Amino acid sequence: MTRPIIIDTDPGQDDALAILLALASPEELDVRAIVAVAGNVPLPLTQKNARRLVDLSGRTDVPVYAGCPRPMVCPLRTAENVHGRSGLDGHDWPEPATPLQAQHGVDYLIEALMAADEGGITLCTLGPLTNIAMALVKEPRCARGIGEIVMMGGGFFEGGNTTPAAEFNILVDPHAAHVVFASGLKLTLLPLDVTHQALATPARIARFAALGNKTGKACAGMLSFFNRHDVEKYGEDGAPLHDPCVIASLLQPDLFAGKMVPVQIDIAPGLTLGMTVMDWWGVTGEAANCMVMNRINADGYFDLLAKRLARLP
Ligand code: RIB
Ligand code: CA
């Protein structure tokens, strides 16, 4: 039984490996569509990069949509310093052949979710939550079609990576994150607390390069570029490979562990804007609204990635 998913993403080298992992796993995941959002780089580039990844994977059956070009309230903040000007620096990409769908990504989300069975679709979010929140605001009834939202974002014991308090995906659009975390929907979060345990070390990158296919070469090149910023920033032997954790948690849940926790988003202007405020020790007595993962079997994670990426062209 395959699991219908929609990937919402701001590619981004780590998004790229997440998307390729999903597209390499058709026995488990029915990727209905990829919806691009502004984040790591502006929307014209994130949608183009999503199309490039569909081309690379050979899964040209998967449609790509462009969603929102900016957050709901805040001005757009991007991360070319991490991902390069293209968003996928580190590999020489041809122009994409896969067309961009004409329909707006938010309207696609609403249409797909309204047509789905109750709880029929898992949303996998790899970037800011703008598209998801806009769909929920524009057509609240579409929530019925959402079985779960599995997100990369936030951080608690690890703090933030963009401000001391906030992780990039949440900080770019804290108001969208607030809409999602207050929605009452089934939520799973893969924050920095877990992704910082999954470092793309040189040995792990070399394994991708040795796959002998175009995909492995592209991933090794992208991660080598992606590493330079975070290795300098964290002084570790590799960059945290954030986004594929979302897809891996669906493919091999036993690689991860965490607990149900009350999570709220700080939307007040100031030092902690965009913070995922997690009541990890239950001091508020609030009801838990999110499964927060804080443990990963990193070797198993990279093993899964290498084995699945080997399947692609
Ligand atoms: O903070 C890491 C997250 O922000 C990842 O999703 C990365 O791709 C960027 O979007
Ligand atoms: Ca991302």
Residue 231's pLDDT is 87
For residue 152, the ligand closest to its alpha carbon is 1
Closest CA to 144 of 170, 166, 112, 167: 112
Place of tokens 């979710």: 113
Chain segment 218-254, per-residue pLDDT in tens:
999 999 999 988 888 888 899 999 999 999 999 999 9
To test the pocket of ligand 1, the residue of 15, 173, 190 to mutate (highest count of ligand atoms within 8 Å of its CB) is 15
CA angle 208, 214, 219 (to 5 degrees): 40
> What's the pTM value of the predicted model, to 2 decimals?
0.98
Ligand 1 mean position, distance from CA 197 (Å): 15
Residue 232's pLDDT is 87
Between CA 47 and CA 11 the distance in angstroms is 8
CATH class, domain 3-309, is: alpha beta
Residue 230's pLDDT is 87
**Average pLDDT score, the chain:** 98
To test the pocket of ligand 1, the residue of 10, 77, 172 to mutate (highest count of ligand atoms within 8 Å of its CB) is 10
Ligand 1 mean position, distance from CA 89 (Å): 15
Rounded mean pLDDT, 142-160: 98
Rounded mean pLDDT, 10-34: 98
Rounded mean pLDDT, 45-58: 98
DSSP letters, 95-144, are PP-SPEEEEEHHHHHHHHHHHSPTT-EEEEE-S-SHHHHHHHHH-GGGGG
Counting from 1 in the atom list of ligand 1, the atom nearest the Cα of 83 is 8
Closest CA to 152 of 308, 14, 299, 303: 14
Helix (H) or strand (E) holding 191: none
The full set of domain ranges for the chain reads 3-309
List the catalytic residues: 242
Tokens for 287, please give them.
């009801």
Chain segment 192-227, per-residue pLDDT in tens:
999 999 999 999 999 999 999 999 999 999 999 999
C-beta of residue 91 within 8 angstroms of C-beta of residue 218: yes
Ligand 1 mean position, distance from CA 86 (Å): 15
Chain segment 290-306, per-residue pLDDT in tens:
999 999 999 999 999 99
